[in-house]
Each structure stands twice: as C-alpha cells, then as structure tokens.
C-alpha cells in the first residue's frame, strides 16, 4: 500500500509539471491570435539562401516555388556544395530565366570547417540584402507568400525570426511518427519562443539579419561542430528582445519525409547530437519536460499494475485529462498551421517518441563522427 501511495504522489507531481508546460506554453501559443508587424513589410529586400549537396532532383522540383514568390524585391542564392550530380550545369540554364537567381559553386571546404556551415557562410557573405531567409533544397514553401509572411515579423528590435517546417503527409506508420515528431518539435520551440524563451530554430525555415549574423562572428565558435547551424546558433544568440515567431499557415515550408527508419534515424542522430551544447537553462527545461512526459507513462502503467481499483480510477482520470490536453493542443496547432490532424493514435506515437528520444538522444550525444551528406 505504501508503494502505490508513493507512486500516486509522484504521478500527481509529474502531472502538475506537465500541466504547467501545457498552460504556460502550449495553450498560450495555440489559442493566441498572432499579429505580425507591417513595419518593414515590402520595405526591405530579402535574400533567400539554399545550400545543396547533390540535390539535382529536389532543385528541379522545388526551386521554382522559391523563385516565384509574391514579393517586391528578393534574390535566391543557391550554394552548390561539392556536387557532381549535374546540378551546377542545370542551374546555369536557370540563370537565363530568373534574373534574381544567383548560383555559387563550392569545390572544396577548408580544413576543420563544417561543410554545411561553410556553404551557408559563403551564401550569407554573398547576399546583397540584410534579411536572410534560409531553407533547404528538399523543402518547398507552402505558398507564394512565404517570403512576405516571414519578413513581416521583423522590426527594428527583432533580428531572428523562427518559422515552422513540417513534413508531407503520406501513408504508413513511419510517416505518422515523423509528422508527429516534427509537430512536437515545432510546438516546443515556437511556444517557448512565444514566451520569450527561444532556444532553437530549424534551418528549413529560419530568418535573421545579415548584419546581426556578421556582428556575432557568424559560425566562428561552431565551425567544428557537425550540425547546429540553425538550432545551436539560435540557442547562442536569441534573447527576449531580438527573436520573434511566424506561425502563419502561409509561412510554412514542407519537406519530403524519409522513407525508411534507417534514413530517419540517421538524420535525427545529426540533429540530436548538438543538444549537449545548448545553454544549461535550456537543457534543464527541456530535460524536465521530456523526463516528466516519460515518467507520466511509466508511473501510470505501474499504478495500474499495483494499485487498488480506487487508485486506478484516479490515475486513469488524470491520464485522460492529460491526453485530452494533448489532443486539444495538437488539433488546434494543426488548424493554426492549416494542416489536417490525423493523429488518432496519439498515445502510441507519444510512447514510441519517448523510447526514441531517450535511446537515440543518448546515442547521438555520444557519437562524435557525423556527416552532413
């Protein structure tokens, strides 16, 4: 009896911590109407930068969506990083069609400099405009107003704008998990940034001022780290005053999801490996969220196995409240993003995510040798 009583007490404490995250961050984000500033809209030109390493097919499929944005003055810079798939030759033909397209080939990367960061740095240094908008060759903007929407979030005090990047919905459980994992990640970093506690962004949809980037010496302190050109850079330089979010449905970008668990885990190993470099306060906050999310399920299952009917009833009621909150958050976030909510098996996806996050996260943090492509 004492054992189940202790489990119930700890479960209730964990439940309250998760409720705190929901009410302070998640509900605040999804139920708040966001207004973007028109202070700089169509007054400052934008430079869109895309780095590509052997991405010919993706460039053929997506590049025109970036080039045909409904915006007064912008350029699209494609940095071709050591590619031998014919993308450089194909892009030369596109230069005759689009006067606002620039192509920068890179033949080799300096020693002790991460290839992705070097390509980005070259693109940023070449850019003619102060507002830099980043994406990837395998991404596509959801609308012709992507540049417009992202640029509206800049003000005189804002130097970093965080956008959301999701994955295309397809058939299969792997795709469901990828979409869930990406939506959960977006929920976390956008809701935290909305409360002036920004800790990361994603390079598939991220904007910042060129002058701010150069003033902070670019990737100087991150050049040796694989990854981190987006999330770790934001973690180092974002603060309460200089960072804003753009959650508008026309500001999204979408990518084609991985088609195998192996390729998905390989991609995520690179992303998760930089978490150990985050600021201590962010690691504590994120660790508390993921730890209590995990403990909630573990203690719930133990309580059902060991508890009395009354204990099981109380635990089940609290768990149903938690799941209801989860469904409301994901459903409302999906509506705000203009996508369809199909996570009817949300509890299964969340449990799988818990195993994935801890096992793969620990493995990634211990891995030293990673590659961009």
Q: What is the pLDDT of residue 191?
A: 97
Residue 373, pLDDT score: 53
Can you tell me the distance from the alpha carbon of 53 to that of 137, in angstroms, rounded to the nearest whole number?
9
Residue of 299, 210, 205, 212 whose CA lies nearest to 255 = 205
Query: 3-state SS string over 56-114?
Result: HHHHHHHHHHHHCCCCCCEEEEEEEECCCCCHHHHHHHHHCCCCCEEEEEECCCCCCCC
CB neighbour list of residue 167: distance below 8 Å, 6 or more residues apart: 175, 178, 179, 182, 254, 255, 256, 257
Q: For position 340, what pLDDT does the model report? A: 79
251-309 confidence digits (pLDDT tens): 999 998 777 877 777 777 666 777 788 999 999 999 999 999 999 999 999 999 987 88
Residue 188, pLDDT score: 96
User: C-alpha 181: how far from its chain's center?
Assistant: 10
SS3 percent helix, strand, coil of the chain, rounded to 5, is 55, 10, 35
Q: For the residues of 243-295, what is the DSSP string, one character each?
A: EEE---GGG-EEEPPPSSHHHHHHHHHHHHTTGGGS-HHHHHHHHHHHHHHHH
* pLDDT, position 109: 82
Q: How distant, in Å, are the alpha carbons of 12, 48, 313, 315, 358 from that of 297?
A: 12, 43, 15, 11, 14
What pLDDT is recorded for position 39? 52
Q: Which residues of the chain have pLDDT under 50?
A: 36, 38, 40, 42, 372
Please check whether residue 319 is in contact with residue 300, taking contact to mean a CB–CB distance below 8 angstroms.
Answer: yes
Task: Please tell me the predicted confidence (pLDDT) of residue 193.
Answer: 97
DSSP state of 34: P
CA 49 to CA 358: how far, in whole Å?
33
C-beta of residue 163 within 8 angstroms of C-beta of residue 207: yes
The predicted structure's pLDDT at residue 364: 65
For 197, half-sphere exposure in the C-beta direction (CA atoms, 13 angstrom radius) is: 16
* 139-156 residue pLDDT tens: 999 999 999 999 999 999
Structure tokens at 22: 């929901």
User: Residue 211 to residues 49, 170, 182: CA-CA distances in angstroms?
Assistant: 15, 40, 30
What domains sit in the chain, N to C, each tagged with a CATH number?
2-30+281-366 (no CATH), 46-271 (3.90.550.10)
DSSP 144: T
The per-residue pLDDT for 372 is 47
Cβ-contact 210, 47 below 8 angstroms: yes
Query: What's the pTM value of the predicted model, to 2 decimals?
Result: 0.90
Whether the Cβ atoms of residue 31 and residue 328 lie closer than 8 Å to each other: no
297 closest CA partner among 326, 275, 276 = 326
């Amino acid at each position: 009896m004492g054992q189940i009583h202790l489990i119930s007490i700890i479960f209730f404490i964990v439940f309250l911590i998760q409720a705190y995250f929901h009410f302070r961050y998640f509900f605040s984000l999804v139920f708040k109407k966001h207004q973007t500033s028109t202070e700089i809209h169509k007054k400052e030109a934008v430079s869109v930068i895309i780095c590509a390493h052997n991405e010919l097919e993706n460039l053929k499929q997506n590049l025109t969506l970036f080039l045909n944005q409904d915006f007064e003055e912008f350029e699209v810079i494609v940095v071709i990083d050591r590619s031998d798939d014919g993308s450089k030759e194909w892009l030369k033909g596109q230069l005759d069609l689009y006067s606002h397209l620039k192509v920068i080939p890179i033949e080799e990367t300096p020693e002790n400099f991460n290839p992705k960061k070097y390509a980005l740095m070259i693109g940023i240094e070449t850019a003619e405009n102060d507002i830099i908008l980043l994406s990837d060759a395998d991404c596509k903007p959801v609308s012709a107003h992507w540049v417009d929407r992202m640029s509206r979030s800049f003000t005189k005090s804002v130097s970093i704008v965080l956008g959301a990047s999701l994955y295309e919905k397809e058939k299969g459980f792997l795709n469901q998990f990828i979409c869930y994992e990406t939506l959960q990640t977006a929920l976390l970093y956008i809701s935290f940034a909305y409360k002036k506690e920004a800790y990361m962004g994603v390079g598939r949809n991220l904007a910042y001022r060129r002058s701010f980037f150069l003033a902070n010496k670019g990737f100087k302190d991150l050049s040796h780290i694989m990854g981190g050109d987006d999330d770790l850079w934001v973690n180092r330089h974002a603060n309460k005053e200089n960072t804003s979010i753009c959650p508008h449905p026309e500001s999204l970008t979408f990518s084609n999801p991985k088609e195998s668990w192996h390729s998905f885990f390989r991609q995520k190993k690179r992303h998760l490996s930089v978490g150990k470099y985050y600021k201590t306060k962010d690691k504590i906050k994120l660790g508390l969220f993921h730890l209590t999310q995990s403990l909630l399920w573990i203690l719930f299952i133990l309580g059902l196995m060991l508890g009395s009917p009354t204990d099981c009833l109380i635990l089940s009621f609290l768990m149903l409240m938690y799941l209801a909150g989860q469904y409301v958050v994901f459903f409302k976030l999906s509506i705000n993003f203009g996508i369809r909510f199909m996570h009817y098996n949300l509890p299964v996806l969340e449990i799988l995510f818990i195993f994935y996050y801890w096992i793969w996260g620990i493995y990634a943090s211990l891995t030293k040798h990673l590659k961009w492509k």
